Structure 1
Amino acid sequence: MKKLSYVGLGVMGYGMAMNLAKGEKSGKYKFLAVDRDEHVLQKFKEKGYQSTNDIGEATDSDYIFLCLPNLEIVKDVVLGENGLIHKLKPGQVIVDFSTISYLGAIEIAEKCKEKNIEFLDCPISGQQSKSLDGTLSIMCGGKEEVFNQVKSYLDCMGSQVLYMGDNGAGQLTKMINNCALNICVASFSELMPVGVKLGLNPEKLGDVLMTATGSSFASQTLIPKVLEGNFEHGFSLGRAYKDMESMFEVLTKSEIPLPTLSGTMQSYQMALQKGYRDEYKHAMVKVYEELLDVKVRKANYN
């Protein structure tokens, strides 16, 4: 019987791991949840699933799934002094759901390949609610035959599971998607204060930008939050900027000019300099509100 381990039970990882664990009831595999947080591990124990705070117990798994905060942590867990790469046997598979850089994913995959360990970069897209109900988008890079091996497991966690190409392809896809989203956020964050400055009603303007030809997922999701003055941290402006940094690193290496992305990065840089790093990315609207001395808010906003 196959053994699956899931390492990293944070905001997104918890729901994904719980959905994967449910498949244990089919009798086709055994499941192990791994995290340092005893509180979250207890939730798995209560449902009868094995859990541990010792990643070493995952090293005999056929498939090890990771969902970790950043590239540095992924590299430490996989390649570090006590990393998985030193303990796994040829043929074992690491599936990484973390959002890391394209070049970083390729580096890790090459190191794993030297040990005949398979590595798939499979970043995810979707809000926490989608991780809980198993409807995430999962973009995968690596050997197609290995992807086919794990596809049924990925289907437990995502409603759209796509094979994008060789190692790094998953991360590149995620980077492009995130950059497109960031550009959309910057566009309405800059333009709405202009409209308000010149006399437009912010709520009516928001309705147009959420429904007419200029609408986008970004406008539909975030303009209501702007109007309510809600800039609480979901996916912070600082993290959004890091996505663009990763993309810019690839563009520089490949000598590819992207003026729109470069301009968007400058908008984010202004917001970072103003101290909005830890707020949600649409907080950059505040930069232009301050510049034009307006507020893009509902009429009853206090």
Structure 2
Amino acid sequence: MTIELKTVGWLGCGRMGTAAAIRLINAGHPVTVWNRTKSKTAPLTDAGAGVVDTIPELADNDIVFVCVSTSSDLEEVVIGPNGLLSRDRKPKIVVDCSTVSAESSALVRQRASEAGVAFIASPVSGNAHVVAEGGACLIASGPREIYDVVEPYLKTLGKVAVWAGEQEQSRLVKLAHNLYLGMMVQALAEVTSLAEKAGVPRANFLEFLNGTVLGSDWVRKRTPDLVAFDLTPTFTMTLLRKDFDLGLAAARAEEVPMPVAATVHQNIQAAIGLGHADNDLLSLFAAQATLANLDVEKN
């Protein structure tokens, strides 16, 4: 399929959206952005992006990327009364990089199709730092011929872009990824707190773990934060809870038992109840330490 794409719009300039849009700008694409809080677009204007005051103005671009927090946000900014599809001029393609429910994605896809707009769901794996470094991975779903058109953009955003199917398959893949992430962090929190309470310095235990076959790039990258007990958010507990809500709902719909994920879901809630809603997902370690009566800040 031949679709000529010259201009790019970007909707949603949080940490992830900003890092991703800057990658497109640095690759030479003319990018125009919108964000609810306009001051957050400053890093993008510094990088060379244009800024519009309203969402419908982004529809002047051939392709528009969306990066928002929730399913309701996606519906509002694309098919809402003041959304991307609210006026006669519409983009050719919308690519959504958010982590949302398959149901909302399907609704937006249907409304976009009715408006003559192609829709690709392409959630991103990787926090803002990973995206900025080009290490993100993207999983996409939608018509294969449309995916082939947008694939070069996706491979500018990250190191891997994979097509998963014609409909909402990418949504489930991303939710499964984030369920695994939460379970992995909880497991790391438990064994680290055990070693530390038994007298092993946290840094030493993690140095050993990272040298074994159980080490991973993610754990190695986050080890300095865990050692320093730095909970500066890269991915908040509130967002992790949202993804567990969606992921476990999908598991129920598919009649798939997920006992470990269900337990971690409650641990996430406990961490939020302890005041870590806006802190990093490493707050699972903070909650575990509290339960273990471990004063981690004195490590």
| TM-score category, normalised to shorter length | 0.7 to 0.9
> Structure 1 residue 233: deviation in Å?
2.0
Distance 1:39 1:252 in 2: 41
The answer as to 2:22 corresponding to 1:10 is: no
Contact map agreement 2:61 2:91 (CA 8 A) in 1: no
Q: How does 1:50-65 map to 2 (within 5 A)?
A: 50-65=50-65
> Structure 1 residue 189: deviation in Å?
0.9
Q: TM-score, length-normalised on structure 2?
A: 0.87
Which residue pairs with 2:244 in the alignment?
244
Which residue pairs with 1:101 in the alignment?
101
Which residue pairs with 1:79 in the alignment?
79
Partner SS, residue 85 of structure 1 = coil
Distance 2:34 2:211 in 1: 43
Change (3 A) 1:202 1:80: same
Distance 1:41 1:260 in 2: 40
What are the Cα deviations for residues 201-230 of structure 1, in whole angstroms up to 9, with x where unaligned? 433222222222332344323343222121
Which residue pairs with 1:184 in the alignment?
184
Contact map agreement 2:140 2:164 (CA 8 A) in 1: yes
Partner SS, residue 280 of structure 1 = coil
The one-letter code matched in structure 2 to 1:166 is: E
Q: How does 1:1-302 map to 2 (within 5 A)?
A: 2-24=6-28, 30-39=30-39, 41=41, 44-45=44-45, 49-87=49-87, 92-296=92-296, 301=299
| Structure 1 stretch displaced more, 15-24 or 160-169 | 15-24
What are the Cα deviations for residues 136-186 of structure 1, in whole angstroms up to 9, with x where unaligned? 211111111101111122222222111111222222221111111111100
Distance 2:221 2:47 in 1: 34
Number of residue pairs the alignment of both structures matches: 295
Distance 1:22 1:292 in 2: 47
The one-letter code matched in structure 2 to 1:208 is: F
Partner SS, residue 275 of structure 2 = coil
Distance 2:133 2:221 in 1: 19
> Structure 1 residue 115: deviation in Å?
3.0
Distance 1:201 1:43 in 2: 39
Gaps of 5+ in 1: none
The one-letter code matched in structure 1 to 2:123 is: P
The one-letter code matched in structure 2 to 1:187 is: A
The one-letter code matched in structure 1 to 2:83 is: G
Contact map agreement 1:136 1:157 (CA 8 A) in 2: yes
Gaps of 5+ in 2: none
Distance 1:93 1:39 in 2: 27
Distance 2:262 2:12 in 1: 33
Distance 1:107 1:225 in 2: 39
Distance 2:52 2:246 in 1: 33
Contact map agreement 1:231 1:279 (CA 8 A) in 2: yes
Change (3 A) 1:211 1:241: farther
Partner SS, residue 155 of structure 1 = helix
Change (3 A) 1:191 1:46: closer
> Structure 1 residue 76: deviation in Å?
0.4
| Structure 1 stretch displaced more, 259-268 or 177-186 | 259-268
Question: Over alpha carbons, which structure has the higher Rg?
Answer: 1
Aligned-residue CA RMSD in angstroms? 2.6
> Structure 1 residue 277: deviation in Å?
1.7
Contact map agreement 2:25 2:48 (CA 8 A) in 1: no
The one-letter code matched in structure 2 to 1:123 is: P
Partner SS, residue 78 of structure 2 = helix
Distance 2:20 2:185 in 1: 27
Distance 1:271 1:225 in 2: 17
Change (3 A) 1:228 1:96: same
